Copies of this chain bind each other. A is one copy, B any other.
């Protein structure tokens, strides 16, 4: 059985939703970030990065959301969640996931994880001051250039959808007014209505 290590409020939500969409047999184990459990020896033995999600499989442990999401899509192929047999469509999905992980997630992380990049409290405050603008810029690009609608890549729900939903939640918390991005706002509402999202949110709120 798969084991998902997650923490509330984190990117692990995207994997959690996807596991439920796949109707996977899995156990969800909370890592208590408030108690700094992710830096404890027990958790570091599972994932030395000290981050979530970690997905423990029969073959070994996987980290990094874009990799885990494609692994789940391949392991539970019925819903064709990555369109993997259409290389260009798959690449579009991966491109969005990569933009989310390397640009938008990083923009968000400068709000509460600035200590990753400096010890200087003034510098951390300076980074925090830019977060709303950087998240707005990221979502402007998603609205204009990437999000097709009704789902991320068009008519077909895919692994980019729960990831985009997860990062949109952060944007709202980062004071981005998503009403200015009609496709993003509609996507967020549509995601909230899915049973898998509702079930996952019970563990993440």
Does A95 make an interface contact (CB < 8 A)? yes
Count how many chain A residues have C-beta atoms less than 8 Å from C-beta atoms of the other chain.
49
CB-CB < 8 A to A102: which residues of B?
Answer: 64, 101-102, 105-106
CB-CB < 8 A to A68: which residues of B?
Answer: 91, 95
Does A25 make an interface contact (CB < 8 A)? no
Does A62 make an interface contact (CB < 8 A)? yes
- Oligomer copy total: 2
Cross-interface CB contact of A134 among B95, B117, B129, B144, cutoff 8 Å: B117
Does A123 make an interface contact (CB < 8 A)? yes
The A contact surface, by secondary structure, is helix
Contact B117 A91 (CB under 8 A): no
Chain A residues with CB under 8 Å of chain B are 48-49, 57, 59-60, 62-68, 70-71, 74-75, 84, 87-88, 90-95, 97-99, 101-102, 105-107, 110, 116-120, 122-123, 126-127, 129-130, 134, 141, 144-145
